[in-house]
Structure 1
Amino acid sequence: MLQSSDVVHSLERGVALDGATGALVGLVALAFPPAELAIAGGAQHVPKADLEGAEPTTPIFP
């Protein structure tokens, strides 16, 4: 079956082309990032809370 349908050759071509396409799309996403997307760990990990309006029993950090 592998010789008649040439599955191995098709898989090799598919992996190579998909890998190249994924690398190109990744580089484009890094060059032109979508709005509000933090790349390389730039996200804010501290939740925004209003400390003055909070009651003493209100958990600020979940």
Structure 2
Amino acid sequence: NRAGIGQDGAGNLGIIRQEGSGHSATLRQGGDDNSYGIFQFGRNTDANVAQDGDGQSGAAVLFGW
């Protein structure tokens, strides 16, 4: 499964949550003061994040076995 989020502007929050194997997550944020969370649980997962602007924050949790 694949999930993607693209956000422009200030003050955005993007969250992606995936369970199972073979997942891919892509998140892109442009603007200031944006934040994100990516939570993936399972084998063969990957995540890609790009943030442009000031005051960006985020967390990615990828857990596989």
TM-score, normalised on structure 2? 0.21
Larger radius of gyration: 1
**Structure with the larger strand share:** 2
**Structure with the larger helix share:** 1
TM-score, normalised on structure 1? 0.22
